[in-house]
Amino acid sequence: MAAPVVLSIPAAHATVYLSVEQAQQAIFPGARFEAFEHRGRERIWQATPGGWFIADEVLGKHELITYAIGIDTQGRVRGVEILEYRESHGGEVRDAKWRAQFIGKTSAEPLALDRDIRNISGATLSCRHITDGIKRLLKLYEASLAHR
Amino acid sequence: MSRAKLVAIAVAGLSLAGPTLAGESPFGYVYTTDTHPRGDRELEQWLTRRHGQSRGHYDLWQGRTEIEYGITDRLQTSLYLNYDHVSALHNRADGTTGPGAFVPDAVDPDGRYRRTFFQSFSSEWIYRVLSPYKDPIGLALYIEPTWGPDERELETKLILQKNFLEDRLVWAANLTAAAEKERFHGDWEREGELELTTGVAYQFAPRWHAGLEYRHHRGYEGRGFSSGKRAYAVNLIGPSVHYAARKWWLTATFLTQIANAKAYNDEAREDIIGGRFYGEHHERSELRVKLGFAF
């Protein structure tokens, strides 16, 4: 699906929680990473000994949220990290318990709020967009990375 | 109270504000189904300039200072204070000053009339039934009683919202029914209003929305909304812009009355000039600016 047109205006006040390197080591401790050339906006690394690390952005209510997922060699989510969060509300998506719901999920699962992913009241928009984003990255993995 | 004092009150209201927010609408007139999360508080300051009648000079500045609070994640309440400043000179069709809405009978027909006054208190309640982020369409119910020295009103709204393009495009519509009692030239009169308010807003950059809003407003005389009591119908349209920073947000909407107003009785017919209706608090254009802060 084509992405809607949104101008890129730098955020005045991004809160950086993790760098890409820190997020990579949080999900794949001790692994080495090699950047993977990709035409889309997502940033992709292949992990050694195995797995993929993908960083992407979704829109919160007003600002972009930078997040990353690790996918194991079986196509299952190994971890989700929030790298940068700029919104005044909805920061509860950084909660480890909420992020842990995604571990083990594959592209075959619904990944929908109030179905297999619990919503956080007051942070619905961030929950929805991150959930949709993770689903999209799993589809991307299935289409472009799984058979490499 | 002078206009300068009115502005000073508004600025003082703003200076009380502290950090952050949620749940605001990208529109100046259209309500969305977004409500504040439980425990969230927000201060809003509105200023609406209603400008121009059939001729001469007419400005009505309407101020509103509001505190909103999220009782639950679905139920929001707010309390607000409404106050106005009117300035009129030769604003009537015959070239005289007043009378009309907010301009009494006994004014000098050749002089400028100015007045600043407290209008009313309102208590607003919004309950979100369906969320546009989880359900096929967002739905909220709204009720707002208003009390003032010359005004009593009960306003209800059905609020709908549908988002598209990953929530960047917002469509919202409100169906409003209001029953009011207004003291006009010393006598209490019953009136009713029905309104369809709708708009679309697109988030063209992080923090920025641009939109278009439309209002179809109908006035009724007496109690009820039967076609026999219908007095006039007015249409307004115009652009809106919304900016949301981390600590505050601002929305501005400019509406202009389309020259296709309709009158359904002789009194209303007299108030239509050049296709626009100038009775019952209607002007040529309206500019509304809203500022919101959490605290």
pLDDT score of A77 more than 90: yes
User: Which residues in chain B belong to E strands, given as ranges?
Assistant: 41-51, 57-70, 75-89, 113-130, 138-148, 151-164, 169-184, 187-205, 208-221, 230-244, 248-257, 262-263, 272-273, 276-277, 285-294
User: Any CB–CB contact under 8 A between A59 and chain B?
Assistant: yes
More confident residue, A14 or B226: B226
Strands B262-263 and B230-244: antiparallel
Residues of chain B positioned with their CB less than 8 A from the CB of A2: none
The half-sphere exposure of B230 on its side-chain side, counting CA atoms within 13 A, is 14
Output the six-digit token pair for A72: 């194991």
What is the C-alpha separation between B85 and B72, in angstroms, rounded? 36
> What global pTM score does this model have?
0.84
Among B207, B241, B247, B251, most A C-beta atoms within 10 A, so best to mutate, is B207
User: What local confidence, expressed as pLDDT, does residue A38 receive?
Assistant: 86
User: What local confidence, expressed as pLDDT, does residue A90 receive?
Assistant: 74
What is the C-alpha separation between A105 and A78, in angstroms, rounded? 8
Of A86, A88, A129, the CB nearest to B22: A88
User: What local confidence, expressed as pLDDT, does residue A62 receive?
Assistant: 80
Of A7, A13, A89, the CB nearest to B204: A7
Residue type, B217: H
pLDDT score of A3 more than 70: no
Indicate the pLDDT class of residue A92, thresholds 50, 70 and 90. Answer: confident
The answer to whether A128 contacts B134, with C-beta atoms less than 8 Å apart, is yes
User: Which of B132, B191, B193, B135 lies closest to B159, judged by CA?
Assistant: B132
Residues of chain B positioned with their CB less than 8 A from the CB of A7: 204-205, 208
More confident residue, A37 or B12: A37
The residue ranges of chain B whose pLDDT is under 50 are 1, 6-21
Of A11, A121, A123, the CB nearest to B206: A11
pLDDT score of A2 more than 90: no
